[in-house]
Structure 1
Amino acid sequence: MSTLNDSQIADISLAKDGHLKIDWVREHMPVLNRVRERFEQEKPFDGLKVAISLHLEAKTAYLAKVVQAGGAQVTITGSNPLSTQDDVCAALVEDGIQVFARYNPPEEEYKQHLMNTLETKPDLVIDDGGDLVSILHSERPDLAKQIRGGAEETTTGILRLKALAKEGQLKFPMVAVNDAYCKYLFDNRYGTGQSVWDGINRTTNLVVAGKTVVVIGYGWCGRGVAMRAKGLGAKVIVTEIDPIKAIEAYMDGFEVMSMDEAAQHGDYFVTVTGNKDCIRKPHYQAMKDGAILANAGHFDVEININELEALSTSKRVVRQNIEEFRMEDGRNIYLLAEGRLVNLAAGDGHPAEIMDMTFALQALGLEYVNKQYEALNKEVVKVPQEIDEQVASYKLDALGIKIDSLTKEQVSYLDSWNE
């Protein structure tokens, strides 16, 4: 059982508000509730230590409590300094979970929280963006020896894991939760699509209708951001490097052009690529006065902030989570949430009903890798189809939706070649 002395948080007196937040999301996460019921009975993680690095807000907190209900000793830290909610951290400590996190710590302290989490010597990890796994493969390989495996939440983390695996350096199996159908079809598309605009609208208090939105990247997250921008009444431009995705964006009714051209037209720019330097010096030089920049990728590298600062004559905070950069010619360019993940750094993240599915995949994926780690190769592992379908079935049950099943004759027909 964790105590306050074992943790590093901002203020334990905030716990009451944190409990209310966690209680609210629990009421809207029926899939995860079903997983918790089974975990409480079967204790799949009994006697094991689990380290978690995720955006530390109420939905994440409830996932940690579900893993704890499965018998694990849980330690958690944040995967982004601006998305950590101090009241939620306090509530978790009261519930016996060890926490190393607080809102917006200095960079050295944030890094130390990650290190402290790993120094609990976990058997399993849940990661978001690959920070825990990266440290285990670089600075603290000694702590990787007892890791059975883990689960990764997001596209950026999967890219890092696959790079490690390609070089034959990955030290334990990692389940690619991000690549499961019940994750990217819903979390990436509908979750990101809604929460990004929740964060932008809450922060700017400006109208979207009639404006031009440039969405950089048309993966599943980009699809969601573009779709919601269109629904808000915006004209949407998509930039891409993939010709197939570019055609898809065009067929979906959006304008498609290069970033050099799009930079001249945008009122809002949203990066959703997982890569760095998507917005850089030539784009800033072409942007109209009042352009607003937001990042919806995991790391704060998609918007090149150093080049923006180098071009500006002054910088000031004009509203919470909005920095104004004044150009030499008098234009102003506005950056939201320091270029960090706008839906979490300037909002509450994805809706609870969406994260219900994703975090059920996390919990069940972790259970899977714990059962199978000796048989699994040290590589990026797909979420088994039966887990994906189980989560979808639980969600349909919670929604009161019934679907059809095949008859024996239909199964036979599909399985044959000569009928």
Structure 2
Amino acid sequence: MKYTTRKPALILLADGTIFHGKAVGGKEGSAFGEVCFNTGMTGYQEIFTDPSYYGQLMVTTNAHIGNYGTQEDEVESNSVKIAGLICRNFSYNMSRPAANETLEKFLEQNNLLAISDVDTRALVSYIRDNGAMNAVISTDVDNIEGLKKQLADVPNMNGLELASKVSTKEPYFFGNENATYKVSALDIGIKKNILRNLAERDCYIKVFPYNAPFEDLQSFEPDGYFLSNGPGDPEPLKEAIETTKQILATNAPLFGICLGHQVLALANGISTYKMHHGHRGINHPILNLVTGKGEITSQNHGFAINREETESHSEIEITHTHLNDNTVAGIKMKNKPVFSVQYHPEASPGPHDATYLFDDFIKNIKESSLKKVH
């Protein structure tokens, strides 16, 4: 349905700045969260369902959102995880034969507030200059002071633990139970395409809640361990950090992605910090310091690990670096089959330059299994 008369809406940032737009569809109300932007040209459905975006107001920089509808298989979790959507032009009609329904219908089913007709170029420029901050999107445009009071009560992302909001409540299995390898995965916000990539490489995965003790993960008798992506600040994840320390003590193969990368760093005594506005998009340039090759990658994170502490750590080697700002994008342990990256090799959406990392994990598992035999 194309709404000819649409309700006015606004974005109110924590510093008092206001941007104007119009409500998408007939939904009214307010949505609060940290405002961030993604520079990807495609993959909006996967972005909206990525657990790493939990509690965030997503600004899409592509001028047209919704034009190819939604498809039931193109999800990264069981529901929309963003707190709200901000876009320039919203397409009420879809033009893809494979689509199941319009984006408008998809957002309605997930009870998500979205606003369009926003000057997203100006908004993104403002975030780049002033940093990611809390905000509210609302159709209650005549209640600015009331919205400011409500916004003041929204917790800051710095220090905020969100993995518990998106993690599985009970362990579950993924893949073929007769697969060659078994992997215990700690779910601190896992994406489905990570599980698909592991299953495609002959792995049977048991996925555990964010606070599962090491003994639970070990009871599966895995050939390797995995630390997933996820939302929020990594430092409050005390149980995950302790579990990781115990995994490291076994010298078993371990692979971490994004939030899992940060947890691995913390388990090694390397601190993390909140970035100015983070990395979110599908065209981020990475240099592989081991091969000397460049990679175009999918990224989604607002925290990073301390470079100086990483460089001075006797057990850690930096393997990848972000070419835009020189942040640490990958590490490995020198004497253990353990590594992690700050970006998303499973993509979805994004390029596949980094899928070799899953192969590296399997290689570590194979080599570790051979050592056990001999």
What range describes the TM-score normalised by the shorter chain of this pair? 0.3 to 0.5
Structure 1 length-normalised TM: 0.34
Structure showing the higher strand proportion among its residues: 2
Structure showing the higher helix proportion among its residues: 1
Higher relative contact order (Cα pairs below 8 Å, separated by 6+ residues): 1
Structure 2 length-normalised TM: 0.37
In our comparison, the structure showing a higher alpha carbon Rg is: 1
